[in-house]
């Protein structure tokens, strides 16, 4: 009884806050990139748009993927903070189910829980659409999405196509926020 009360309170709190990635019901099951090739996906990706919008966040957000000797993928995310400092975090991405190579499990060293990293579509050389979703208690889900590019900008037509893919799985694309990718010189020299 007490547990149920706590759960209900948590649900109410989440629903009434501005937690933009909170939804009732289970995660959608999106279509994944066919024949995903992690080797071709390695290298640097720049964040163009992201869901949900965060209140305080850095600019010039980028992710660098490289192969580790054990075959897993090293994830190095970095961003430029308002105070001019570079904030970075490292993690490891693993394909846990070989029959689903486009679903990676990413874990970061700072005690964050593993998150699924689903590549919905990519051409490896210009764009990538990534979605992450976790179910809680079978009652609600929390999701994240990223539109990534091999360069610090991406053409509007491609962004529109990727937004449509998100809409198709029930994501409200009005809630995507644009990541500033200007004045990033300090990131490239590091």
Ligand X SMILES: *[C@@H]1O[C@H](CO)[C@@H](O)[C@H](O)[C@H]1NC(C)=O
Return residues touching ligand X (CB under 6 A).
37, 39-40
Q: How far is the CB of 125 from ligand X (least distance, A)?
A: 11
Angle at alpha carbon of residue 95, lines to 122 and 70, rounded to 5°: 115
Shortest separation between residue 78's beta carbon and ligand X, angstroms: 25
Nearest residue to ligand X on Cβ basis = 37
The answer to whether the Cα torsion of 8, 11, 15, 18 is positive or negative is positive
N-to-C CA span, the chain:
54
- Looking at the Cβ atoms of 26 and 40, the one nearer to ligand X is 40
Q: How far is the CB of 43 from ligand X (least distance, A)?
A: 11
* Neighbouring C-beta atoms of residue 125, cutoff 10 Å: 9
Give Cα separations from 94 to 35, 134, 149, 183 (angstroms): 16, 17, 21, 33
Question: What gap in Å lies between CA 71 and CA 3, rounded to an integer?
Answer: 42
Smallest distance from ligand X to CB 37, Å: 4
Q: Which is nearer to ligand X, 33 or 179 (CB)?
A: 33
Question: Alpha-carbon torsion 130, 92, 115, 89, what sign?
Answer: negative
Of residues 16 and 39, the one with the C-beta less far from ligand X? 39
Nearer to ligand X, 29 or 39 (CB): 39
Q: Which is nearer to ligand X, 42 or 180 (CB)?
A: 42
- For 5, counting Cβ atoms within 10 Å of its Cβ (0-12 exposed, 13-18 middle, 19+ buried), the class is exposed
Task: Give least dist CB 38 to ligand X, A.
Answer: 8
Q: Do residues 102 and 117 make contact, with C-beta atoms less than 8 angstroms apart?
A: no
* Residues 142 and 136 sit within 8 Å (Cβ to Cβ): yes
Task: State which residue, 10 or 67, has the beta carbon closest to ligand X.
Answer: 67
CB of 93 to ligand X, least distance (A): 16
């Amino acid at each position: 009884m007490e547990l149920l009360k706590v759960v209900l309170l948590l649900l109410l709190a989440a629903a009434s806050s501005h937690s933009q990635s909170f939804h009732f019901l289970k995660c959608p099951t999106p279509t994944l990139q066919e024949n995903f090739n992690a080797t071709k996906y390695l290298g640097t990706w720049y964040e163009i748009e992201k869901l949900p919008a965060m209140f305080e966040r850095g600019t010039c957000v980028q992710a660098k993927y490289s192969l580790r000797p054990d075959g897993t993928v090293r994830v190095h995310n970095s961003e430029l903070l308002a105070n001019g400092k570079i904030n970075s975090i490292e993690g490891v991405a693993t394909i846990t189910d070989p029959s689903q190579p486009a679903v990676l499990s990413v874990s970061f060293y700072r005690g964050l829980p593993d998150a699924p990293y689903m590549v919905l579509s990519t051409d490896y050389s210009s764009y990538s659409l990534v979605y992450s979703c976790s179910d809680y208690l079978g009652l609600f889900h929390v999701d994240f999405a990223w539109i990534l590019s091999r360069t610090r900008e991406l053409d509007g037509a491609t962004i529109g196509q990727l937004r449509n893919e998100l809409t198709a799985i029930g994501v409200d694309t009005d809630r995507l926020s644009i990541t500033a990718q200007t004045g990033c010189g300090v990131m490239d020299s590091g």
